[in-house]
Amino acid sequence: MTEAEDTRDDGVDPELLMLPEPPRSRRALTLVLMALVVVGAATLALSLRHEVAFFLSDPETTDLGDVTELDPADLRSNSMVRVAGTPMMSRAVRYRRVLSGTEYVVFPLAGQRTVYVQVAADADLARHEFSGRLVTFGQLGGRIGAAAEHLDRDMGLPVTSESFLLMAEKGPSSSAWALLLSLLCLLAIAIDLFLFFRWFRPIRDGALAVETAEA
C-alpha cells in the first residue's frame, strides 16, 4: 500500500489520529496560568494609571498661595503645585519605602486638614513653602496606606482617600518608572495572548492533509 493509498478520503493521515491526546490536566493548568498572567499584568497596569498620567502631565508649577486660604474644590489632583504653610511636626509620621529604603516624613500644615505634605527625612523641615506633586491619598493606594492610617487613628487627623498629599520635590519625571512598567505589562499580555491563540487554536479541516503523488 502506497503512502497515497494509506491516506483517508478526508485527507487526514490515520497515524496522526492514533497519536494520544495531550493530558487534559496539563492543558487546563496551562490555560489557568496564562489567564492569571493576563489578569495580574492588567491589574498592575491599571493600578499605575495615575502615575503614568502624571508622567505625561504639564510640568509647570501652579502657585496656590497660603494653604489656609485654599478651597478644596479648586484643587486639581495629579498636578504640580506650590503652597505656603507652617508644618505641624508634632503630628508628623515617618515611614520607609520597602523597595528603595528611602525614609519620608508626612505632616499636616497648620490651619487646615485638607492638604498634607511629604518630604524626605533628610530635607529642611524648617521651611514654610513646598512645591511638588499634589495627589490624593486614594490615588496612591497602598503605597502610603500605613502612614495615612497612623495619621487618622493615632494622630486624630481626618485623613481620607480624598485628602491631598503634596509630595515635595516630585516632578513628572519621577514617574517614568511607571510608564516603563506599564509597557512591560502590556507586552506580557500581548505575548500571552499570542501564545494562547497559537497553541490552542482549533485545527482547520484539511490542515493535516497529505499531498498525494500524481497518478
Query: 191: which 3 cell numbers?
Result: 505575548
Contact 201, 172 (CB under 8 A): no
The residue written with cell numbers 505625561 in the block is 56
The predicted structure's pLDDT at residue 203: 54
Query: 152: which 3 cell numbers?
Result: 487618622
Q: Sort 181 into a burial class: Cβ within 10 Å, 0-12 / 13-18 / 19+.
A: middle
Give this prediction's pTM.
Answer: 0.73
Tens place of pLDDT per residue across the chain (215 aa): 444 444 445 555 666 566 666 566 777 888 889 899 999 999 999 999 999 999 999 899 999 999 999 998 889 999 999 999 999 988 999 988 877 778 999 999 999 999 999 999 888 888 899 999 999 999 987 788 888 888 988 888 989 999 999 999 999 999 999 999 999 999 999 999 998 888 776 655 544 444 444 44
The predicted structure's pLDDT at residue 215: 44
The predicted structure's pLDDT at residue 21: 60
DSSP assignments along 152-176, one per residue:
HHTS-----TTSEEEEET--GGGGH
Give the bridge partners for 66, in sequence order. 84
The predicted structure's pLDDT at residue 18: 66
Least Cα distance to 185 among 32, 48, 31 occurs for 48
